[in-house]
Each structure stands twice: as structure tokens, then as C-alpha cells.
């Protein structure tokens, strides 16, 4: 099993931090540098490309796609024992009118070296490229998880397993007590406050930045490593 993902120059310290955490729990990793023109949503559309590259570079290993702003707190060897071609978490949110929205999370996705997993990765990549091309000259936000959802629902012959909640990379303030992987939301320094808890978290980040005189992410993760 090998953990993979990508990092932009600004995210290199986070990739190095995650690499150290993985090494501490006995997990191998390979994070690829990646930078293209456009907003952060366009950077994220590279995820399936990174998966395919890792599957080629490490043909005998299970591939674990992971966001570099995740934190690993304990061994992750159980990720190498999934029974499906692919394993991922499913996220959901209830709207103000009571409608449930559900979509697959791309924060942690496990790909075994099977025909089904490769078909899903290639389908995901095709959909991301079509979306990028269609919105090249339009100010439309791209969504890699929306493309993943379409790929999961329309890739024949692929078996998908739901990741245990402790590996789902929930936000740090929403993760279960036994969480092995959590997400730190480095990109969204102050996330939209849909709930009182989220508002308090955003306020706490601003207060820390004001007291320390430093960007919150820099304060939390330490100085960049050169």
C-alpha cells in the first residue's frame, strides 16, 4: 500500500508534514508536485490523474489517494484490506428545506490494482477533463467530487466499499473520537459558518491569527521547510 496525492508550492509544508506522520505509522507515500493556472478548484481536478500516475509507478501496491491537509493519527494498514475495487467515504448534508444531499468524498479514496478500479479512475479523469474544457472561458466553479460521483454511478463492473468512519477524514472538529485520519481544511482558512460550532471555529482561527500575528495555517503547522 502507498499513500499518494499532490501538492502545490504553498502546500509543500503540509505534504512534508503528512509524509512524516505516515512514516511514523509505517506507511509509504509519494506526493507529486502539481500546479496549473486557475483557481483551487481547477487544481483539484488533477486528483484522478495523480491516481493513474501512482497506479503506473507502483503497479503492485494498493493506492490510497489522500489530501495533503489530512492528519494521520494512527496506523492505516486496515486500508489495505478492503474487499472492493475502490473504497471511499460518503458525505451528506441536509439543506434548509430538509432535502438530503449526498456525494462521495475525495479526501481519502482507496484504489486496488484491479480492472474495476482502473476503469473508475479513467472515467473520473475523462469527466474532469470534459468539465475543464467546457468551462475554460467561463467563471464556473469546478467540483472534482461531483465528477467522482458521476464516475462511481456510471462505471460498469466496479465494486465500491464504504470506508469506516474513522478513516473518512472528517473535519477535525467533527471527527469521531477514534478517528485515524482527520481533515484540517487548510485551503478554507475560514469556512462558511453554517452552524454555531463552525462559527466558533472560524472566530477562534481569527483570534489566534490576531494574537500571534501569523496566518492561522502557518501558526498551526509551523514554518515552511526549505
- Alpha carbon 41 to its chain centroid, in Å, reads 12
What does R_g of the chain's alpha carbons equal in angstroms? 18
Lowest mean pLDDT among 1-5, 33-37, 179-183: 33-37
Write down the pTM of the prediction: 0.78
Q: Which domains does the chain have, with CATH numbers?
A: 2-186 (3.90.550.10), 188-226 (no CATH)
**86-94 sheet: strands from edge to edge:** 28-33, 2-7, 63-66, 100-111, 86-94, 160-162
**Residue 187, pLDDT above cutoff 90:** no
pLDDT digits (tens, 9 = 90+) for 211-222: 878 766 566 655
DSSP classification of residue 15: H
pLDDT digits (tens, 9 = 90+) for 129-166: 998 888 776 666 788 999 999 999 999 999 999 999 99
Which residue, chain included where needed, has cell 475560514? 190
Cell numbers at 81, concatenated: 484490506
**At 219, phi and psi to the nearest 5?**
-65, -40
Pairing relation of β-strands 100-111 and 86-94?
Answer: antiparallel
Question: How sure is the predictor about 119, in pLDDT bands with cuts at 50, 70 and 90?
Answer: very high
Amino acid at each position: 500500500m502507498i499513500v499518494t496525492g499532490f501538492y502545490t508550492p504553498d502546500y509543500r509544508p503540509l505534504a512534508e508534514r503528512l509524509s512524516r506522520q505516515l512514516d511514523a505509522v509505517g506507511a509509504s507515500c509519494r506526493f507529486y508536485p502539481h500546479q496549473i493556472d486557475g483557481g483551487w478548484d481547477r487544481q483539484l481536478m488533477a486528483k484522478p490523474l495523480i491516481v493513474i500516475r501512482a497506479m503506473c509507478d507502483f503497479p503492485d501496491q494498493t493506492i490510497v489517494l489522500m489530501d495533503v491537509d489530512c492528519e494521520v493519527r494512527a496506523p492505516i494498514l486496515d486500508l489495505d484490506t478492503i474487499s472492493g475495487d475502490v473504497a471511499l467515504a460518503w458525505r451528506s448534508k441536509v439543506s434548509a428545506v430538509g432535502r438530503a444531499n449526498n456525494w462521495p468524498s475525495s479526501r481519502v479514496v482507496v484504489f486496488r490494482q484491479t480492472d474495476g478500479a482502473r476503469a473508475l479512475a479513467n472515467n473520473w479523469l475523462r469527466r474532469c477533463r470534459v468539465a475543464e474544457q467546457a468551462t475554460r472561458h467561463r467563471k464556473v466553479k469546478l467540483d472534482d467530487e461531483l465528477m467522482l460521483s458521476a464516475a462511481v454511478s456510471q462505471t460498469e463492473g466496479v465494486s465500491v466499499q464504504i470506508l469506516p468512519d474513522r478513516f473518512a477524514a472528517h473535519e477535525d472538529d467533527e471527527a469521531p473520537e477514534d478517528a485515524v485520519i482527520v481533515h484540517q481544511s487548510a485551503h478554507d482558512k475560514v469556512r462558511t459558518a453554517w452552524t454555531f460550532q463552525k462559527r466558533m471555529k472560524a472566530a477562534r482561527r481569527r483570534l489566534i491569527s490576531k494574537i500571534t500575528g501569523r496566518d492561522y495555517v502557518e501558526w498551526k503547522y509551523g514554518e515552511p521547510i526549505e
